[in-house]
Chains A and B, each alone.
Chain A
């Protein structure tokens, strides 16, 4: 399952980043590492890019990158609240 399979508001835990080279590294630098917890906040008008809350801050990534972030759904799933 990747971030793309999640719904708005879903909480997740990163399992792996499967994007080669610099872009994958950049995501890892920004906090997308194994075990990190995050939440899908929303998507922009045409569904792209996505706003993700990770490591206690908001970051925007495109669907192309989100498709490379493998995640698992977290147990607690609450809409809206951090």
Chain B
């Protein structure tokens, strides 16, 4: 007897899949990605009646077409990994649409158990389901469950084990009506001629998919020994169907499937006549109201933004202080030299940098998952869609873009809610144009030094330019390299629900670990690299020289070291490129260190201008020093601000971007940001000079 059972947990979004998964597996789970795509792969284990259950949580989907990455992932998993059982979680308040997916699993020829979840809500709505009869009709075991209190879960697992223990399994699939069945049979007859193919894939499913014009299954036919005759038969049948029914064959299949479902549902389910408005309908009247809806949305956004950044301030300071303390400990215990510098300025600064973002991520994802679990997130996308669509973006792009004003790292991570790859890539590429919090000190320094009395407006103008650049670039991408049909906005507006604390903590935990793993892998090596290029080669300083300059020895040493380091050399090397946009090598170095973290630009300028800018009161001195430099002018300062706005975001953001859109698109984005930054700065600087600024 087989003691290990693999279970795939599937279902429509918002049916309580995750809740059931968590209650089955407890903390025995791990999260990864499906190979090559940014779809989360969650697996967990539990023991039940002596069986070792391996449970895979598939992404929430509506159908098994190749419409989204999620759907492809789910069906590839079932075809390739061949789980012993699929548990399809069904929303009992909306059986018809949920069964549509369930029956497709049945067609894939895997054993299916249906969990009628949200049964408490169904009861409250007066929906009376005869699950025995339903199971009888669709030939799938059906168990009523309530995810939030675990009711019915063990009954569900009993059914799973029963199904696995059964020696013989009757294969049953629904009928698509005499007409269509003839076509299905004709295609199967062709397909079955290749024995290997017949062993690898469920033929009936392939035949139906071919009638539905599924591109991926058509590709599969390439593996078939007599592919040409298969293709011929399929084409002939498609022509017949479309002539006969007068519409696309794929729609006919959907119709027949729904027709069957409505038959089954009308027999097994009794819907009480609804004569009062549901809670969701009442709330929608306010939240989606044409006049009140937008202000409420803006207020919620503002509140999330404020709370996230306000609540994170102190924890972030504690983490930074903690690493400062570790740093000073290291200074005490490690003798002066290369090793100490590596540990303190490279490793500890790097790890501290990674970890100091955690409070932001924790709070942000806490609020996001509250908005998601209540069902408001879909409404927000509904409200924003039209405006963003004008610029080729998607209703769901609003969240990453708004968050970008705080910090690009969580902003980029939030882009994951966009299911379409093209939308996600565009959103991620333009999100850094929303000036993040770390860029503000740089703006403040420069505006304070060169635009006295007008600094607020100048900084605001940079923010506004950023928003315009984001919208215009996404329009540009949509019209050029990322063209194609704009993604249709067919999005469910799920009923409002009270989120559970447990559910939210799960989300937060998961997001935080994901960030730590991804960012840690990239950020630590990167910060060591930055440390290396700003430290090596070591400056050759005359002892006498140092002693001569009695004051500010530290600062002078730092300045010398920086200008002789690789970063300094690079700055000098880049002068031919930098001069046309008004920068000298010093500004060049500052910009390079900005790749590590934007606030570092300020401290680098501090070192270069021989003032210690770490202390606030001395910021004035840095301003004076900048003002005294003949190379600097208000025009140069403004161009530098623009440059900081557009150029490559910090390493932490790049790590997040890498995780979301992959290495190739990251490289493309880097080139895009650099070219755009240089281009904009060149135009502004040269124009400014012509006007004699």
Chain A residues within CB distance 8 Å of chain B:
16-17, 20-31, 33-36, 41-42, 44-49, 51, 55-62, 64-65, 80-82
Contact = CB atoms under 8 A, between A and B. Distances in A.
15 contacts: A25-B212, A25-B250, A33-B259, A45-B294, A45-B386, A49-B489, A51-B493, A55-B96, A56-B97, A60-B490, A61-B489, A61-B490, A62-B489, A65-B489, A82-B278
Report the contact-size class of chain B (Cβ under 8 Å from the partner).
35 or more
Contact of B63 (A20, A29, A34): A29
A33 B65 CA distance: 16
A59 B493 contact: yes
A46 B385 CA distance: 10
A22 B67 contact: yes
Contacts of A34: 255
A23 B488 contact: yes
Interface in B258-305: 258-259, 274-278, 280-281, 284, 288, 290, 293-294
Given A33-B251, A62-B489, A44 B288 contact: yes
B217 interface: no
Q: What 10 A-B pairs are tightest by C-beta distance, nearest first? A: A28-B254, A58-B493, A29-B63, A33-B255, A46-B386, A23-B488, A33-B258, A48-B386, A25-B250, A62-B489
B247 interface: yes
Given A24-B248, A27-B490, A49-B489, A56 B62 contact: no
Contacts of A26: 63, 65, 67, 488, 490
Contacts of B382: 44, 49, 51, 60
B213 interface: yes
Given A42-B288, A44-B288, A82-B274, A31 B97 contact: yes
Contacts of A29: 62-63, 65, 67, 100, 254
A41 B289 CA distance: 11
A31 B294 CA distance: 29
B62 A44 contact: no
B277 A30 contact: no
A56 B100 CA distance: 14
Contacts of A35: 255, 259
B488 A65 contact: yes
Nearest to A64: B488
Nearest to A27: B490
A28 B255 contact: yes
B385 A62 contact: yes
Contacts of A20: 248
A22 B493 CA distance: 21
Given A57-B494, A65-B489, 4 more contacts: A28-B250, A56-B94, A60-B381, A82-B278
A28 B251 contact: yes
A43 B492 CA distance: 14
A30 B489 contact: no
B492 A57 contact: yes
A82 B386 contact: no
Contacts of A30: 62, 97, 490, 492
B96 A25 contact: no
A10 B494 CA distance: 21
B485 A82 contact: no
Contacts of B258: 31, 33, 36
Contacts of B67: 22, 25-26, 29
Contact of B93 (A44, A49, A56, A81): A56
Contacts of B491: 59-60
Contacts of A80: 277
B172 interface: no
A42 to B, nearest CB: 6
B249 to A, nearest CB: 10
B54 interface: no
B387 interface: yes
Nearest to B290: A45
Contacts of B213: 21, 25
B288 A51 contact: yes
B83 to A, nearest CB: 23
Given A25-B65, A30-B62, A33-B255, A46 B387 contact: yes
Interface string B336-361: 00000000000000000000000000
B41 interface: no
Contacts of A55: 94, 96-97
B357 to A, nearest CB: 33
Contacts of B250: 24-25, 28
A62 to B, nearest CB: 5
B401 interface: no
B248 A59 contact: no
A19 to B, nearest CB: 8
Interface string B375-388: 00010011101110
B96 A44 contact: no
Nearest to B382: A60
